[in-house]
Amino acid sequence: MCGIAGFIDFTKRTGSEELQRMTDALVHRGPDSAGYETHVHNTANIGLGHRRLSILDLSNGGSQPMSYKYFTIIFNGEIYNFKELRQELEAKGYTFLSTSDTEVLLKGYDCWREKIIDRCIGMFSFAIYDAQQEEVILCRDRAGVKPLYYYWHERVLLFASELKSLCEHPAFEKKIDVNSLSLFLQYSYIPAPYTIYQHTHKLKPGHLLKVDLRNAGVSEQQYWNVLEAYKQPLTDMSEADIINHTEQLMKSAYNYRMVADVPVGVFLSGGYDSASVAAILQADAGSRIKTFTIGYKEKAFDESAEARKIANHLGTDHNEWIIGPEDALSVLDRLPEIYDEPFADNSTVPTTLVSILASRQVKVALSADGGDELFAGYNKFNQSLSYTSKFPRGVQQLLSGAMGLVNPDAIPYFNKKYNFSSRYEKMKLIWASGKPQQALKYISQYLTESEVARYMHEVPGHYKTNFDLNGELTDINDPLNKLLAVDYKTFLVDNNLVKVDRATMSVSIEGREPMLDHRLVEFLAQVPASLKVKDGINKYILKSIVHRYIPKPLMDRPKRPFIAPLQHWFREELKEQMQYFLAPERLQQTGLFNVPQVQQLLNTYLSGGKVSHQKLWNILVFQLWYNRWIAVL
């Protein structure tokens, strides 16, 4: 795993100095070495920079940028099946100077061009300069495990693994996109392809970006889409065969993610997803694998005891850290640096801390993101289907219309319930649409669009996201699978994967996602809902597999999210931090918020009102980000 950065400057004003600054802004992603190359084309200056975290082939043979014939590559990620691909290439006459996967990818591109991507099992983002075809190609992996941003404005294209790198280029304009800010306030992250800055984009998963140097043409091309997997016919395999085949795919995917020339560990939360990773790997391991857990002093949020029991049963080398608000405060100030666009997932703190814990012993850590999307773990899927099927369509429309006539704040008793006005608005919208995928969208929002308009200084515009897919979902093979596909393309990619990538990379360890092996994703997309949720049991397939390794009584307990107890900390230890950054003068300084409305929300919360702390957390995170990247507050 590494960090990459570069430019294609058709004004020909950019050179090696700017490239080095952009690249070295990513030193945390690659502290082991660095490489910088500039190329002069007739129409543009091209820069390719690389920061290396040595995981495979620790020698200089794996250094980048790496060139072969008329190709030069910078690569971030891992190709887990690179040894098999290398054998194929050797059979075709290729020879190799290193044992790195980068060289395999580079020579595979010479052999198969873009079709090499179809052969790769891995996580990756890379850029290839093809001097013969006079083009530069950027690529991001199928799931979007590895990030890649680009800025295209006034004939300058910049790209990098993180936004902070782009900020180092003098042509980059740090202008806030208020429509993206609206999305952030709604979801606590900014969905692809948008970013907090104007003219700046996330390259979408499963996409290439092609830059034609002859005419400055820039175009995106899709090479993989999870929706296509969900449009395949449902499998007719028996339940037993589905469970057995899934387990075999999991074994292959998990063991591939252990390929490294450095120590590897596993994040273990105590839930089924991470337990499956630890269990399968420990069963096949010749020695004790290392597992890492974060716990809380607040017992209602603490799963460390459960994780410890699982680790003891499996026989792993287990490590844990019980954290409190003082540990959270030590990380809070670093969050805007780690997540260099507003990002308010409430598990950023524990994810960063467990990464710190793991970094003391390993350079690679396996996470278990994707389990809820692939195996239908979240209750929001059940809710989305239930809310839109409980009443006939006509009754839903009548209920929605009637709700629009009543101010929820004026309803006695209920207006004192937790977050009632938001939940009321969401149900009104859900019944107005009648569509499960729209229900999923509204359930996923912390603030509805009308609430965002109330808290912002100006009413923002509307950006379409993957929550707004409609016709694209028509041919999907199952109602539940539609929701899993949407969540895969939204919350998984732009929330969970961002969270783990930045947290692990902030302490220079590589985070890997074994559940997102595309072979496993494509197979499970063809499994019917009746086996994903069976007899009222979510994740039925995964649970059936895990129980082969861990006794059911050790695993069965209510699902608890991996989150921090922010609502307690904000009223006590972190109260001062919130009051400082949400003070009227600092809200006015950004010029983006309706100050009286935000102040009213803050005062209601601090006085014990039943409002969601996440609304304030989103605004606070933006203020912290603004303070670091735009102007000191």
In the chain, domain spans: 2-224, 228-376+488-555, 379-481, 566-629
Distance CA 589, CA 460 (A): 18
How far is it, in rounded angstroms, from Cα 156 to Cα 13? Answer: 9
Which residues share a beta bridge with 136? 129, 211
For residue 546, the model assigns a pLDDT of 98
Q: For 203, which DSSP code?
A: P
Q: Which amino acid makes up residue 47? A: G
Q: Give the span between the Cα atoms of 547 and 557, in whole angstroms.
A: 13
pLDDT of residue 563: 57
Angle CA 461–449–595, to nearest 5: 85
Residue 515 φ then ψ, to 5°: -70, -15
Query: Buried (b) or exposed (e) across 82-120, using 16+ Cβ within 10 A?
Result: beebbeebeeeebeeebbbbbbbbbbbbbbbeeebbeeb
pLDDT at 562: 54
Give tens-digit pLDDT for 44-69.
999 999 999 877 667 777 789 999 99
Q: Would you say 55 and 28 are in contact if contact means Cβ atoms under 8 Å apart?
A: no
CB 164 within 8 A of CB 146: no
Neighbours of 258 (CB within 10 A): 17
Classified by CATH at the fold level, domain 2-224 comes out as Glutamine Phosphoribosylpyrophosphate, subunit 1, domain 1 (3.60.20)
CA angle 195, 474, 448 (to 5 degrees): 40
CA 475 to chain centre: 26
The rounded distance, in Å, linking the Cα atoms of 64 and 205 is 23
pLDDT in tens, 332-385: 889 999 999 999 998 898 899 999 999 999 999 999 999 999 999 999 999 999
Distance CA 308, CA 303 (A): 9
Cα radius of gyration rounded to whole Å, the chain:
24
Element (H, E) at 291: strand 290-296
The residue ranges of DSSP E strands in 69-191, in sequence order, are 71-79, 122-130, 135-140, 149-153, 156-160
> What DSSP element (H or E) covers 389?
none
What is d(CA 504, CA 512) in angstroms, rounded to the nearest whole number? 10
What is the identity of the amino acid at 123? M
The whole-number pLDDT of residue 565 equals 66
Does residue 373 contact residue 481 with C-beta atoms inside 8 Å? no
> Tokens 């601090």, residue?
606
Q: Are 421 and 427 in contact (CB under 8 A)?
A: no
Q: Which helix (H) or strand (E) holds 475?
A: none
Decide if domain 228-376+488-555 falls under CATH 3.40.1010.10.
no
Position 57 scores a pLDDT of 64
Q: What angle do CA 357, 359, 364 make, to 5 degrees?
A: 120
Q: Does the bond joining 65 to the residue before it have cis omega, within 30 degrees of 0?
A: yes
What's the rounded Cα separation, in Å, for the pair 338 and 164?
9
- Residue ranges in the chain modelled with pLDDT below 70: 1, 56-57, 559-568, 571, 573
What is d(CA 311, CA 59) in angstroms, rounded to the nearest whole number? 35
CA distances in angstroms from 155 to 47, 127, 239, 255, 334, listed in the order given: 15, 18, 55, 44, 34
